[in-house]
């Protein structure tokens, strides 16, 4: 397995301290705080570890309360809120330096059959026909600030291929709608729970940025303070994050220094595998 992906699996594999108490380590991805998707994925791993085998997460709702320090471990405390005949609910609190930095509620369900319909997948080019995101920013790195450049230079365990060519340094004002293909850079074990935890991790990429498109901003400009406030996710169908997935995102609103974005995640065969929503801080910096 690729070393970057292997390291990601180590990061989301938590140390069990007690029956419902876990400890996780962090990785520096170039941002000034712990990547929100990492905390989201680790919290879901902790919740999953307390649920009976065969039950799989179908929804989660989370709040980011404080910045995480990637130099210190994070403790995850799980509350077994309910175990019913078909559903189980868990609440997770992430603690660092004696304070809550994150909390999550997640619901798990035993597999059932029922009514089935979904939104159609947008007609977009296949990922194999598109260049990677790196092709669009590689030559722009010298023009970026050292802090922003570091975030782009660090290698990721996922690869991204945008459908609409991005303009990182001088973006035009545009309709807040975009599509990006992504997948893990190597093959992963056949474990549906693992794939859903990793999907939660990677779903925090490329979502909130959709809400700044109508205003001619780009994260790479370093002109905004951006941070996730909350994150919600629904898992509709089985998924593999080591196969290409299309993230179709839009932003119906931005106001009050907050942006709101939604996402639909499709497999290459057109199945809607998950949906997301996120609100985040988008505060212009004072010049």
Q: Can you give the pLDDT of all 287 residues of the chain as single tens digits?
A: 899 999 999 999 999 999 999 999 999 888 888 999 999 999 999 999 999 999 999 999 999 999 999 999 999 999 999 999 999 999 999 999 999 999 999 999 999 999 999 999 999 999 999 999 999 999 889 989 898 898 888 899 999 999 999 999 999 999 999 999 999 999 999 999 999 999 999 999 999 999 999 999 998 888 899 999 999 999 999 999 999 999 999 999 999 999 999 999 999 999 999 999 999 999 988 75
Q: How far apart are CA 244 and CA 143, in angstroms?
A: 31
- What amino acid positions are annotated as catalytic residues? 204, 228, 278
Side-chain half-sphere of 149: how many Cα atoms within 13 Å? Answer: 9
CATH class of 3-111+127-284: mainly beta
What separation in angstroms does the CA of 287 have from each of 55, 249, 284?
51, 30, 9
Q: How far apart are CA 221 and CA 285, in angstroms?
A: 11
């Amino acid at each position: 397995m690729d070393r970057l992906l292997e390291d990601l699996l180590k990061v989301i594999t938590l140390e069990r301290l007690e029956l419902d108490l876990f400890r996780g380590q962090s990785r520096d991805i170039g941002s000034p705080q712990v990547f929100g998707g990492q905390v989201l994925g680790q919290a879901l791993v902790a919740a999953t570890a307390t649920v009976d085998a065969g039950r799989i997460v179908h929804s989660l709702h989370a709040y980011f309360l404080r910045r995480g320090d990637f130099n210190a471990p994070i403790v995850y405390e799980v509350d077994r809120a309910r175990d019913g005949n078909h559903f189980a609910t868990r609440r997770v609190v992430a603690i660092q330096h004696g304070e809550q930095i994150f909390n999550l509620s997640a619901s798990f369900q035993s597999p059932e059959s029922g009514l089935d319909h979904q939104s159609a997948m947008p007609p977009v080019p296949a990922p194999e026909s598109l260049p990677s995101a790196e092709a669009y920013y590689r030559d722009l790195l010298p023009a970026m600030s050292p802090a922003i450049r570091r975030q782009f230079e660090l290698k990721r365990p996922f690869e991204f291929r945008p459908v609409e060519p991005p303009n990182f340094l001088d973006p035009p004002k545009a309709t807040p709608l975009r599509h990006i293909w992504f997948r893990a850079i190597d093959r992963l074990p056949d474990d549906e729970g693992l794939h859903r935890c990793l999907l939660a991790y990677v779903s925090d990429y490329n979502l909130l940025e959709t809400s700044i498109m109508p205003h001619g901003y780009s994260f790479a400009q370093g002109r905004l303070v951006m941070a996730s406030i909350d994150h919600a996710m629904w898992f509709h169908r089985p998924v593999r994050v080591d196969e290409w997935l299309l993230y179709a995102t839009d932003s119906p609103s931005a106001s009050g220094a907050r942006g709101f974005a939604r996402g639909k995640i499709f497999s290459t065969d057109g199945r809607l595998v998950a949906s997301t929503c996120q609100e985040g801080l988008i505060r212009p910096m004072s010049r």
